[in-house]
Structure formats: C-alpha cells, structure tokens
Structure 1
Amino acid sequence: MLVEEIMKTEVITLPPTATIAEALQLLQDNKIRHIPIVNDDYHVIGIVSDRDVRDASPSILLDVSDNQELENEIQTIMSSPVITIHPLDFVEEIARVFYDKEIASLPVVSNNKLVGIVTEKDMLYTLIQLTGTHVQSSLIEVKVPDVPGNIPKVTEIFGKRKVNIASVLVYPYKKDPKFKILVFRIQTMNPNPIIQDLREAGYQLMWPNNIPEPKV
C-alpha cells in the first residue's frame, strides 16, 4: 500500500510569520495535533505540534493582564528541519520511520511541495485494514516450517472449503527460527470445518489450541 492511498490531502498550514495564537486557534477549531509551516512556494520549512504551542503558552496560573507570548511568530517554536515522505513511499516502510523517530505525523512532499500529511491515527487505521480486523472474521494461526511453498499448501485447504481469506500475516516463530506463523483471517463465523481439515492435514495450530476439544 502506498502513502498516497492513506494521506490526507487537505492540510491546514501556516506561514512562519503567523502567531502562536493563530496556531492555537487552528489546533482547537480543527481538532488536529500538528500544523506544517510552509513558505510562499509551499515548501515545508517547519512543523508545530499542539505540545509546542502548549509549552509556549502562558500558564493559566499566572496572573497576567496580557498574553504577549501568544503574539510571537510561530517560527520561533517550530521544529526544523522536518522529516518528510513521498506519496509513492510504501506505508509499511514509513511505519518504521514513525517508530524509529518517535514522531506523530509526517508531511508528504512531491516536487518539494506539500501535498498531504500522514498521522499516527492514519497508520493505525491502515493497520486495521491490512490485518482484516475491520470485517467480521475468524482468526487461525498455523505453525509451519520456514520453507518455500507452505503458504499455497495451507491456502489450498481454505480453497477447498470455498472460504474467503480476509488477510494473511506471516511472522517468525520466536522459539525456533526454522518455523513461521501464518495468521489467517477468514470470512466465516464457523471456522471449525477448516480447523479440522488443517489438523487432519498434520498442521499445528497455535490458535485455536492444537489440542482438539473432547467429544461429548
């Protein structure tokens, strides 16, 4: 999945000469947490977060008759330079940028101009979509040797039951690197026939537990 598929294209921005008070008002009115700061050519030259604005605002405990700090220009508190991404970057790769840099939003730039923004919330929603948890489904985890061809062999069992697969994830089995865990979300509320087929085929299920329920 590409960044251009999940980014917001209507981005609220400010020039560097805008005041902190203007930024505060925009953050509150639009319920956003970050404002990219752009110049006349729409180049990203900084970014301001709600925390930056909050830290720069006078304390409500202070007995002051005016709020001179709020009239300072936003460029005095903006973060610069700014980490940016491209519309054709892969979402899975920019997730690592969010994690490594511990940031909450990334402006999207094409031809040196701001074209969008991606936030932590956008990433979380995308993860929900990629894992199939946004649709009614059942989850099955299968432990398989880490060798080529295992995914088609397992999915063939699903195909015989004509069960639609909402998503497939693969992750290493931490206790033994020679194995992987295949995580399937299937669009059926009764996965028992598939579970039985997998067990009869000799596959070890991590979820549901591989031990069959006792017959009553």
Structure 2
Amino acid sequence: MFIQYSMTPEPVTIGPDLPVTEAAAMLSQKSFRHLPVVDEDGRLLAMVTDRDLRSACPSSVLSHDDRAQVLEKVKETRVREIMSTDYVTLHPTSTLDDALLLFKTRSIGALPVVDDQNRVKGIFSLNDMMAAYRRLFGLGEKGSVLVAIEDTEDRPPLGVLVTALERENVVFTRLIRALGEGREPDMLYLRVNTMNIRSVHRIIEQAGFTVHIPVVQP
C-alpha cells in the first residue's frame, strides 16, 4: 500500500518567520502535533513539533514575574530559531513498510511527505499508519473473521484452498502467509466474511489444511 493513499493530504504548514506563540496556538486548536515549515514555494525546510514549542514556552514552576519575563521573550521568538532541520521524509510512492521502518528507527510520530521537488504533499502519522493497516488487514469489517491455518510442509498447494473456498461461495478478502518466530509456528491467515465460521473450518479441513487452534499451556 502506497503512502499517497493513506497520508493526510495538504497539511497545515507554516513559514520560518511565524512567531512561536502563533505556531503553538495553531497546534492547541488542532488535533495534530507536527507542523512542516516551508518556504514561499512550499518546499520543506524543517519540522516543528508540539514538544519543540513546549520547550520554548516558560515553565509552570517559574515565579509569576520570571514567567512573564520569559513569555515576553518567547513572543519575539520565530519558528526558525527552534525548528528541526534533522528530518526524514516519505515520497507519495513510498510504502507502509518504508514508513514503519522509519517510525521504528527514528522514534518519531509523523513524517512529512514530499514530491521530487521537496514540496510538501502530505503528512503521514502513526495514526494514519494504524488506519492503513486496519484497512489492509480488514480489521473491523462487518462479518469479518480471521482464520489461522497451519502452514506445514505437507499441506496442499494454496490453489487447492482458494478453489475450495470459491466452490463453496465463501467470500475471502485476505490470504497472508506469515513466518513464525520463536514458539509461533508458520501460519496462513485467511480473512473471510461469514456468519458461520464452523462451516468455513470444515471446508478448509476437507481441502487438506489444518485450522490452528492455540492451546494454552497450564
């Protein structure tokens, strides 16, 4: 699945000369936590996060006078003074796998999406990624059930399973092969739309496959 189908398009952007207080007000009024900083042509210069803005604001533990003094200084601070130029980007043709690896290695909550000219086309957040994977795996679809099938060396070809399901008019939307790790065996995960899961289990087993029922060890 490509990022361009799951990103938030045309995100709110700011210029580097915007006062920090205005940027903070924008984030407090919205449901996002990241602001791309762009030049006049919409090309990405940096990123600003709610953490950056909180760090620039006076601490609540300061005295009233000290806090007021710091706040006056903050009002004169521009975004360019706190923005981070150490950013990574995605391209609209990047994949969910690309984004997942960046989220894992960089420990960040959102990634700007830019075109070949570095113009901001969207933003892709952790929430966007979870929503994309929900669609990819069919989570929450009405009547949708996930069936685990043991992926053993002696199982029949997958075509046999597909033919059996289609012959019995079982609607399936995903068939995923997953290599096991540790104590988890290799599996086939089949997502079907059914109100009679026992019937689906019977069709699978008659086709020569084994439905996996986990056993809880005492």
- TM-score calculated relative to the size of structure 1: 0.87
Shift of 1:147: 8.8
Corresponding residue pairs, total: 208
Q: Structure 1 residue aligned with 2:158, among 151, 156, 172? A: 151
Root mean square deviation, CA, Å: 2.3
- Secondary structure of residue in 1 paired with 2:103: helix
Match of 2:59 in 1: 59
The amino acid that maps onto 1:65 is A
Q: Deviations over 1:142-161 (max 9, x none)?
A: 01236998332222222122
For 2:55 and 2:182, locate their aligned partners in 1 and report how far apart those are by CA, in whole Å: 46
Q: Deviations over 1:150-186 (max 9, x none)?
A: 3322222221221111222221122589x63111111
**Cα distance change, pair 93–156 in 1 and its aligned pair in 2 (3 A):** farther
Match of 2:80 in 1: 75
State whether structure 2 residue 66 is matched by structure 1 residue 95. no
Contact 1:37/1:47 (<8 A) preserved: yes
Q: Structure 1 residue aligned with 2:170, among 151, 163, 186? A: 163
Q: Which consecutive residues of structure 1, in runs of 5 or more, have no partner in the other structure?
A: 211-216
Contact 1:56/1:70 (<8 A) preserved: no
State whether structure 2 residue 118 is matched by structure 1 residue 112. yes
- TM-score calculated relative to the size of structure 2: 0.86
Shift of 1:206: 1.9
Q: Structure 2 residue aligned with 1:86, among 91, 109, 118? A: 91
Contact 1:131/1:169 (<8 A) preserved: no
Identity %: 25
Q: Which consecutive residues of structure 2, in runs of 5 or more, have no partner in the other structure?
A: none
Shift of 1:81: 3.0
Match of 1:213 in 2: none
Shift of 1:24: 0.5
Shift of 1:83: 0.6
